[in-house]
Amino acid sequence: MSTNVLRTPDGWWVVRGERAVRIDSKAVTTAELLADRDAVREAAASSESGTPAADLMALPPVTTPCRVVAQMVNYRSHAKDSGFTGDIPPAFFRKASGSVSGPHETIVRPAHVKFLDYEVELGLVMGAPLPVGTVVEERDLPQYVAGLVLTNDVSARDVQLTKTQFYESKSYPTFTPTGPYLALLEPEDFDRLLDLRLRLSVNGVPRQDRTLADMIVRPAQALTLLARFQTLDPGDLLLTGTPGGTALKAPPKPVEKIAALLPPALKWKAFFNGQARNPRYLRNGDLVTAAISTPDGHIDLGEQRNAVADAA
C-alpha cells in the first residue's frame, strides 16, 4: 500500500485518511526524506491519532532546486487533439524548478500571456540515481522511482508556439503546481500504474479525464530514453505527459492547409485571432481542480485547487 507524505512549513507528515502524523526526521529536501524511509515507516505505523490533515498548509512535496523534465505529447488523446498522425517520436523538455508551486497556490498569468493553458500530469519522483546509459525494464521501476505526485504543466501557448520555446512558456513562477501528496510506493504498487485516472476541471466543468492506459511511452521506457543523455538524481521530477482536453487544439485540416500558404507573421495572427474566440483558456478568477487516483483509492495523489489570477 502506498504511503502519502505531506510537506508543510513545519516539516513532513504521513497522511492516513483525514489525519496526519508527523515524521520524526531532520530531512529538509525531498532527497533527504527519501533517504530516511525508516522514519516515514515509523510514522505510518504509529498508533497516535495525529492532527487533522485539513488544518495543515500543504507545500509542494518536491523541494527545489531539482531537475524538472517533461515528456511532450505522450497520450494518444492529446496527440489526436494536437493534429499528429502516425508514430510520434518521443521528446522531452525541461522546466525551471522555480515554476514548482503548492497544490493550492494561485496560478499567476504574466501580463504578456494571453493564452494560458492547463495540463494535468503524473509526476515520477526519483528515489535513486539514474546514470546515463541506464536501461530500465518494467520490473526495475521500484529501484529508481520512489513515488508519484500530481502536477499541472501550466503553459503560455502564445509564447510556446510563436517562439517554439517550451522552456520559457512552461517555466514562469507558479506554472507547475505539485502535490499535495508524495505517494511513496511499495514494489507491488507499480502494477497499478495503468489504473491511475487523471482528471482536471475548470470552474467545475470537466476538461481532462483519462487513465494511464492512454499513454504512448510508459515510465520504464521513458526513463530508458531519457537516460541516453540525461542523469537524474533522488528528488528529481519527471512529468509524463497530459491527456487530451487541453484548451489548445490543432485547427481543422483545411484551415491548416490554407494557413501554411501564409507568411509566418500572418499565419500566427490568423491562428491567434481564432484562439481568442476559444473560451477554454484560463482567465482571471478561474478555479482549476485536478486529481489522480486509482478507482479503488489504493493510490490517491490528492486534489489540487488552484485559482487563476492576473499578475499585478
With cut-offs at 50, 70 and 90, classify the pLDDT of residue 82. Answer: confident
What does the block give as the cell for 37?
524511509
- Per mean pLDDT, which range of 8-12, 41-45, 91-95, 269-273 is the poorest? 269-273
User: CB of 93 within 8 A of CB of 165?
Assistant: no
> How many Å apart are CA 78 and CA 164, to the nearest integer?
18
E strand or H helix that includes residue 8? strand 3-8
Do residues 230 and 132 make contact, with C-beta atoms less than 8 angstroms apart?
A: yes
Residue 162 — pLDDT band, cuts 50, 70, 90?
A: confident
Tell me, what's the pLDDT at 252? 58
Q: Residue 253: what pLDDT?
A: 56
Partners of 169 in the β-ladder: none
Give me the pLDDT at residue 255, please: 45
- State yes or no: pLDDT of 78 exceeds 50: yes
Model-wide pTM > 0.85: yes
Quote the pLDDT of residue 165: 80
User: Quick one: pLDDT band at residue 54, thresholds 50, 70, 90?
Assistant: very high
Predicted confidence (pLDDT) per residue in 180-201, tens digit = 999 999 999 999 999 999 999 9
Does the pLDDT at position 258 exceed 70?
no
Exposure string for 234-243, b = 16+ CB within 10 A, e = fewer: bbbbbbbbbb
**pLDDT(262) > 80:** no
Identify any residues that bridge with 108 across adjacent strands, giving them in sequence order.
Answer: 309
Per residue in 147-160, pLDDT (tens digit) is: 999 999 999 999 99
φ and ψ of 100, to 5 deg: -70, 130
The mean pLDDT value of the chain amounts to 94
Q: Edge to edge, what strands does the sheet with 237-239 contain?
A: 51-52, 19-22, 11-16, 3-8, 181-184, 145-152, 120-126, 237-239, 68-71, 92-95
